[in-house]
Structure 1
Amino acid sequence: MTHTSEERVPQAPGSDDAPQSAQIIPFERPQNELQRAVQRRAQEHLEALSVKPKKSFARQAITFAIALIPVGIIFTGFVVSVQAVRFISSLYLSPQATANVEQPAQPVVEDPPQQQPGVVMLLPDKTIQPIKPAEKKEEPPKSPPTP
């Protein structure tokens, strides 16, 4: 048997002699009763999660008000403590408090300010006694020598 070159030419893929491709046939086993019950339960749970009840506005407002209580207490406590520190420091740093500590018996009398713009007058404190300079002992004048 001799073959010619025409016989050796491969056949086209669309010809009837070509092998067919494999097909995947799914193998499904029928579900038993337990599997069906589990699947039903899971489906019901997913449906229940997708339908959320609508929250009422009153409930949201009450929840917000209750949540604000501790925030308000903390904020108020902070403001009160800052004001207390300012009040105490103003008591200790005021000039009246320092004057009262040094000399509480003498009342403080202030002169009315003079109306001269641009001029600052420094007046000595009247509560402090000026220090007198030390007195020099004077020697009697020398008399002229007598002959």
Structure 2
Amino acid sequence: MKRLLPLLFLLLPALACAGSLQPLAANDVATLLEPPAHGERIIALWALDCAYCEPNLQALARLRDQHPDEIELVLVTTDGIEQAATIEARLHGMKMDGYPNRAYAEASPERINFLLDPHWGGETPRVLVIRADGSRLGISGALTPAQLEKLR
């Protein structure tokens, strides 16, 4: 038991930040949009006041759970980081707090919207798929089964 205690203390920081909400500033967007080494990164953009976001996030989580070695799922709320407590409570309620989560941290959210996808008008839900080959796909609105199939 004494040997396990130091190991637990080493793992706590990693476990604590696994699903904790992180700020997303304009200078972070380029890194987020870099193609993954393999598979694809799905960036799920959502908002607290979005009626279709929760079903989309849950469908994306199921897809990611079916293909854990191929899909990286990152959740990005277009709400401001100053609403962190409300955002984290909502994520917890949706059982989505175990995924990497980001919240806008800029005075001008439109700037981050444009940097993420210049063809996006800011509506949510929005899904950005970035593939290892550098190709991208953007889908706005509630995801249909056919659209979910195209994501992988």
Q: Same fold (TM over 0.5)?
A: no
Q: Which structure would you say has the larger RCO, counting Cα contacts within 8 Å and 6 or more residues apart?
A: 2
TM value normalised by structure 1: 0.20
Larger Rg: 1
TM value normalised by structure 2: 0.19
